[in-house]
Amino acid sequence: MPRLVLLDANALLMPFQFRVNLDREIQRLLGDADVAVPKPVLAELEFLAERDREARAGLRLARRYRVIDATGSADDALLDLAGTNRAVVVTNDQPLLNRLREKGIPRLRLRSRNHLVAEGL
């Protein structure tokens, strides 16, 4: 069964800021994966997209993935969903990475501006 992978807004901007192919990197690190975006992350991107071109591109990318119902802030939704579903979170947001690490939740983050690395798997 594919592992659930949750994308943060920060992760959805990586392809446009650093030319990282998220699908290829997730496949390389985890194999078959079920990639999804929590609704609050989508809402965060919609807000950012009003003023930012990269956020508009990230929003278009986010809509390619399955959207999961969740409530609360984007970070809280990611923490709750990851904890409940034993999911991996993709982000480069340092405060979120710290919270994920404290809870023992596996994560993928950007390294050297060109690839993802796994932590806590």
- Give CA separation, 31 vs 3, 9, 39, in Å: 9, 22, 25
Q: Provide the whole-model pTM.
A: 0.95
pLDDT of residue 121: 87
Give the DSSP per-residue string, 11-28: HHHHHHHT---HHHHHHH
**How would you write the pLDDT of the chain (121 residues) with one tens digit per residue?**
789 999 999 999 999 999 899 999 999 999 999 999 999 999 999 999 999 999 999 999 999 999 999 999 999 999 999 999 999 999 999 999 999 999 999 999 999 888 999 999 8
pLDDT of residue 114: 87
CB 62 within 8 A of CB 7: yes
Strand order of the β-sheet with 66-68 is 66-68, 33-38, 3-7, 88-90, 107-111, 115-119
pLDDT of residue 113: 87
Query: Which CATH architecture is the domain 3-119 placed in?
Result: 3-Layer(aba) Sandwich (3.40)
Of 28, 8, 22, the residue nearest 82 (C-alpha): 8
